[in-house]
Structure 1
Amino acid sequence: MTTSLVTGATAGIGAAFARRLAADGHDLVLVARDEQRLTESAQALRARHGVAVEVLPADLAQDEGIAAVEDRLRDGGRPVRLLVNNAGFGHGGSFLDTPMADELRMLKLHCEAVLRTTAAAAPGMRERGRGAVINVASVAAFMPRGTYSASKAWVVRFTESMAYDLAGSGIRFMVLCPGFVRTEFHQRAGMKASNIPSWAWLDADKVVAAALRDLARGKTLSVPDPRYKVAAALARHVPEGVFGAVSTRAGRRFDPKNLN
């Protein structure tokens, strides 16, 4: 039986991964900060799909939380075949208006936690000759807008580097870069999403379905939906100065930090 570990598993894209993987017969390790929501999610998935579900309450913006997940990933007696690093958050406001503690917490969660959990999972996967890591970033990674975009850009490059470094090891690495997804993300960040046009929103379950198809096809970068594929391609090839000026003029009405 395949066991998958999903961080940020109680809401949004993480919950959608948990639902889909359970439906596909995966046993699960669910990681999030809220133990009560974890327990409720686990009970629902066990009842509906008959899979084994472990709960691991952990704050991945803290050393203790990261260490707890590292320990589980290194547990060779209960190997994890698929790691989904999904936990993340956003915040409104410009760089100088954001408390430094929030910026550092974001880097801890988006970068250090991804680095450490991947490093904990990869040796066992390589020894077994199979496994996969999906790191959830954002199309905001291709847009020069603050610490959120910068941290997600790091996730993209890190994942691509791991795919190159461990090619032929049996481990697949993929970074998922969705656009606007209907989740709790924006509400939790205190972001106003009413100015985002209805056509720009994606469904979390469809995002996950597209991601798993891309993983099966061996892709390293997954951008769900043709609209966002075009946006990501343009952002990667338009000179940064030009795109940055356009992005600044657009302001918060279409701020990449609002993207999942």
Structure 2
Amino acid sequence: MALVMVTGAASGLGYNTAQALADDGHDVVVHVRNESRLRDPDRWKGVVIGDLARVDEIHHVARQTSGFGRFDAVIHNAGVMGSPDVITVNVVAPYLLTAWMDKPGRLIYLSSSMHRGGSTDLRRLSAGGTYSDSKLWVTTLALALASRWSGTSSHAVDPGWVPTRMGGAGAPDDLTAGHETQVWLGTHDDVTPSSGGYWHHRQTQTSHPACEDEDFQAQLIKALESHTGVPLA
């Protein structure tokens, strides 16, 4: 039985991921933006609340997690699209939570096939990047951590274009397959590669070349440290 945290678990893929983990007997801590969005409160090991578009609330989320001890896995699922907060929610929040929380056994970051259209111009962190930029950068963060933190595996997952509120009712991909890879990576040992994979439906895929470029990984981490004022341990 694993202790797993899922961010953005009020609905969509995050909720489905949390439900699947709980159904498998794992202890699940869910994050939601505010209490009114919480579903099935009795199912969860715990709940943390905070708006990941606000740095002070990201810090509050990290503080709330300290009472649960070391997580076996943290699934960074929360994300937005078409919002002025896209960089804060999709990149800054997972970076800060990673920096502030105790190192878990496994880190899983939600990516997108759209990351391949993202920019490597990191000045856009402050100037206002796009959804594709945010997914390129968070994928790079995931793969960078795979080689930096001994004892913690790190992966990025493209869940597919699935029919959630973000994806839209006409999205063509399979909704159930959209969360199965995250659950598998977070709780199973028979994963190859054991760290540093970019996954889609339990198969590794080729990511944007920048994601595996060690120089760009270092530049991204330096840029995030400068942007937030928070160093990565």
* TM above 0.5: yes
Aligned residues of 1:214 and 1:222 also touching (Cα < 8 A): no
Of 217, 224, 231, the residue aligned with 2:201 is 224
Tell whether 2:116 aligns with 1:116. Answer: no
User: What amino acid is the match of 1:116?
Assistant: L
Hey, what does 1:143 align to over in structure 2?
117
Give CA deviations for 1:12-71 in whole Å, capped at 9, x if unaligned.
110111011111222122111241231x3323xx2xxxxx43122211011232012211
Aligned residues of 2:17 and 2:182 also touching (Cα < 8 A): no
Hey, what does 1:155 align to over in structure 2?
138
Tell whether 2:144 aligns with 1:172. Answer: no
Q: Distance in 2 between matches of 1:65 and 1:20?
A: 27
Q: CA deviation at 1:214?
A: 4.7
User: What amino acid is the match of 1:41?
Assistant: D
Normalising by structure 2, we get a TM-score of 0.73
Hey, what does 2:107 align to over in structure 1?
133
Q: Distance in 1 between matches of 2:167 and 2:158?
A: 16
- Unpaired runs of 5+ residues, structure 1, are 47-51, 92-101, 126-130, 188-192, 238-260
Q: Distance in 1 between matches of 2:101 and 2:16?
A: 22
Give the length in aligned residue pairs: 194
Q: Provide closer, same or farther for how the CA distance between residues 180 and 225 of structure 1 changes in structure 2, counting only shifts above 3 A.
A: farther
Aligned residues of 2:112 and 2:158 also touching (Cα < 8 A): yes
Q: Distance in 2 between matches of 1:213 and 1:225?
A: 8
Tell whether 2:61 aligns with 1:87. Answer: no
Q: Distance in 1 between matches of 2:115 and 2:101?
A: 24
Q: Distance in 2 between matches of 1:161 and 1:142?
A: 17
Aligned residues of 1:90 and 1:186 also touching (Cα < 8 A): no
Normalising by structure 1, we get a TM-score of 0.66
Q: Secondary structure at the match of 1:151?
A: helix
Hey, what does 1:257 align to over in structure 2?
none
Aligned residues of 1:85 and 1:114 also touching (Cα < 8 A): yes
User: What amino acid is the match of 1:201?
Assistant: D
Aligned residues of 2:111 and 2:138 also touching (Cα < 8 A): yes
Of 65, 69, 89, the residue aligned with 1:73 is 65
Q: Distance in 1 between matches of 2:74 and 2:185?
A: 15
Q: Distance in 1 between matches of 2:53 and 2:91?
A: 10
Aligned residues of 2:33 and 2:50 also touching (Cα < 8 A): yes
Q: Distance in 2 between matches of 1:221 and 1:53?
A: 29
User: What amino acid is the match of 1:212?
Assistant: V
Comparing both structures, which one devotes a greater share of its residues to helix? 1
Hey, what does 2:178 align to over in structure 1?
207
Q: Distance in 2 between matches of 1:163 and 1:174?
A: 7
Identity of aligned residues (%): 26
Q: CA deviation at 1:175?
A: 0.8
Q: Distance in 2 between matches of 1:63 and 1:114?
A: 11
Q: Distance in 2 between matches of 1:9 and 1:223?
A: 20
Hey, what does 1:107 align to over in structure 2?
87
Q: Provide closer, same or farther for how the CA distance between residues 154 and 143 of structure 1 changes in structure 2, counting only shifts above 3 A.
A: same
Q: Provide closer, same or farther for how the CA distance between residues 236 and 159 of structure 1 changes in structure 2, counting only shifts above 3 A.
A: closer
Aligned residues of 2:115 and 2:208 also touching (Cα < 8 A): no
Q: Secondary structure at the match of 2:80?
A: coil
| Structure of larger gyration radius | 1
Q: Distance in 1 between matches of 2:58 and 2:179?
A: 24
Aligned residues of 1:73 and 1:120 also touching (Cα < 8 A): no
Aligned residues of 1:33 and 1:58 also touching (Cα < 8 A): yes
- Unpaired runs of 5+ residues, structure 2, are 120-128, 210-233
Tell whether 2:61 aligns with 1:61. Answer: no
